[in-house]
Amino acid sequence: MLKDKINGLLSQVNELKAANAEEVEALRIKYLSKKGEITALFNEFREVPNDQKREIGQLLNQLRQQTESRINELREKLEISNQQSAISTQLDLTRTPDPIALGTRHPLSLVREEIEDIFSRIGFTIAQGPEVEDDKHVYGMLNFAPEHPARDMQDTFFIEKEPGVQKPTDVLLRSHTSSVQTRVMTSQKPPIRVLCPGRVYRNEAISARAHCFFHQVEGLYIDKNVSFADLREALLYFSKEMFGPETKIRLRPSYFPFTEPSAEMDISCNICGGVGCSFCKGTGWVEILGCGMVDPNVLEACGIDSKVYSGFAFGMGVERITNLKYRVKDLRLFSENDVRFLRQFESC
């Protein structure tokens, strides 16, 4: 009887299972398609006596609804399972459960980039050079004679050509980024206006005030009719931009082999405002850089006519500027990678 067939299918439908979407679709075709088993029962329904149509019709509708509901339920379960599987494959179960802290830029990088930005506003471009250099570019072309006592001002790291064999060598770790300036002067024609940032090395005892490596930014400007007044105005502009509009500068006579005349530049102490404090040792002034007019011998050594062109150069230690800006008293903090120290610059 049709009623028995309907009840038999109902029990089958309640037990339907599927392992994937293909099996769910196969069940739908088997029971609900135009040639499916439930459709065939509706065709048989036409032969049912009128007095039974009401009861049999309700059972058929119940069978179709329950079949549709069961197939939809199987489909939804498979979709949820697939989503969970996709999520689980994206999880890295080896990751720490603690939140991963964001890093921060190093204070030396922050200050170097600020220096570069300030000088870029007045036309300076960036020039780079090798850290492992030769004597010619580091000393020879910068007016350092072979026996010149000025070489003793910078205790240099020389590199042995043959391990264990002690003999003179012209390969060294650069002791200043002036070597980049000599490379620029020999490869470019004036006008030249470059900034040379980079790491330098000197054989010094490590302490709170000195290190065997540090960072410099040197500047070079060569053109016709460049004067000491141009140098002073460029450095005054830099000082006010870096330390504030109230900053004052003073230039004291000094000596460098590659500049003549030469000067050391001080700024008014940005901690006490020039009144005098322990940081500036009561003077109201803090030294930040050396500078001067490029010596004609340097220009000639680099192939530039010193009778036509003149120029100025300056150099500063990035650590020194960072000390003044952030009041860091120990240079060793910059290279120890102590995250407690570095986290202080997260908002910079």
> Can you give the pTM of this predicted structure?
0.67
Residues 114 and 72 placed together within one structural domain of the fold: no
Q: Give percent of the chain above pLDDT 70.
A: 91
Is pLDDT at 52 greater than 90 in this prediction?
no
Which pair of structure tokens corresponds to residue 229? 């007044």
Tell me the residue range of the domain where 48 lies. Answer: 2-89
Res 89: pLDDT: 64
CA-CA-CA-CA dihedral for 186, 251, 115, 187, to nearest 10 = 0
Classify residue 96: in a domain, yes or no.
no
CATH number, residue 253:
3.30.930.10
Rounded-to-integer distance, Cα 205 and Cα 286, Å? 23
Coil/strand/helix, residue 184 = helix
Is pLDDT at 316 greater than 90 in this prediction?
yes
Classify residue 100: in a domain, yes or no.
no
Rounded-to-integer distance, Cα 327 and Cα 332, Å? 14
Dihedral pair phi/psi, residue 42, rounded to 5°: -65, -30
Instruction: Map tokens 């070079």 to a residue.
Output: 220
The count of other CB atoms within 10 Å of the CB of residue 183 is: 19
- Bridge partner residues of 126 (DSSP): 195
Whose CA is closest to 348, among 174, 84, 125, 112?
A: 112
Residues 178 and 279 placed together within one structural domain of the fold: yes
Rounded-to-integer distance, Cα 166 and Cα 113, Å? 40
**Residue with more model confidence, 76 or 41:** 76
Rounded-to-integer distance, Cα 260 and Cα 70, Å? 95
**Residue with more model confidence, 62 or 302:** 302
Is pLDDT at 298 greater than 90 in this prediction?
yes
User: Where a domain ends, among 60, 89, 118?
Assistant: 89
Q: Give percent of the chain above pLDDT 90.
A: 41
Q: Which tens digits make up the pLDDT trace of 188-201?
A: 999 999 999 999 99
Residues 52 and 125 placed together within one structural domain of the fold: no
